[in-house]
A = this chain, B = another copy of it.
Amino acid sequence: MTTPSDDPLPSWRPGAAKHALLDFLVAARTVPVAERVAMFDNDGTLWCEKPQYLQLLFMVDQLRQAVAADPTLAAQPEFRALIEHDHAAQAELGLERIAMALLRLTIGIGPAEFDDRVRGFVAAAVDPVPLRRLRYQPMLELIDALRAESFSVFIVTGGGTEFVRAISQDFYGVAPESVVGTLVSYDFTRDSVGVPQLVRSAEMVGTANEGEAKVVNIQRELGRRPIFAAGNTAGDREMLEYALASEGPSMALLVDHDDADREYAYEPEAVTVDFDGSFTAFARDSGWTVASIRNDWEQVFAE
């Protein structure tokens, strides 16, 4: 019989999702350690993505500092829409155009400087709570439980790779090389005395890391195949299917944001595929395990 102290997932309420997770953790003991590979989406899976992507808050913070140094920047339509909280203008311009404009603010800096900026922002951001408290406690427990079964844990995010790498060790115990995301291109240059350095460009490498690209980039950058994958949007669909199609024990987990009281209630946006019915219905039809925040999580956020 399981005593409370034996429970590796204390923030998960008894139910089908917890049951499936505990079963999988045991079943995976038959899998060679090198193949015990778990991959997690980040935004909306490991931490909250509403009301805005946290990376967007960082970029807006960068914008505030840039405008303080050069007020003429505020005249650019993408920046004006952000500064004036003009949601209609933001929607009209679109997230991609705004994100690309924000990216231009970090052209020319090196990887270490970018890391410092992210970490400085994360350390200072308390609105209304520190960013680290926006991590989901049940998912942190799940990461620990997988590691206790000798899993290697990776983050496969649609967000910017460097942004997530700057915090992944501290927030999730995931090393930078174990993060796959949307890449910004760095150029190799030499300074005036010939010392090599990398400087950020404003160009993306390939496409955003969503949908099929997640699976292709997993192979390119990691060379591992997940037998467990967790996500929360249609952009995670292919990764979850890829994990579930592994030989032997496998599992796909969808986090369902259905708790308007403690977090947010929203249907995931269909990034790559249109679904007739709800995405959670599609998930259940596909054999995925659905984690309802409202029903399955006793505690939502990390302490």
Contacts and interface: CB of A to CB of B under 8 A. Distances in A.
Contact of A223 (B162, B220, B238): B162
A177 B245 contact: no
B179 A205 contact: no
Given A195-B245, A245-B196, A34 B219 contact: no
Contacts of A177: 152, 154, 177-178, 221-224
A91 to B, nearest CB: 31
A216 interface: yes
A172 to B, nearest CB: 14
Contacts of A195: 241, 245
Interface string A131-170: 0000000000000000000001010000001100100010
Contact of A176 (B111, B161, B198, B223): B223
A215 interface: yes
Interface string A204-239: 010000001001100111111100000000000010
Interface of A: 34, 111-112, 152, 154, 161-162, 165, 169, 175-179, 183, 186-188, 195-198, 205, 212, 215-216, 219-225, 238, 241-242, 245
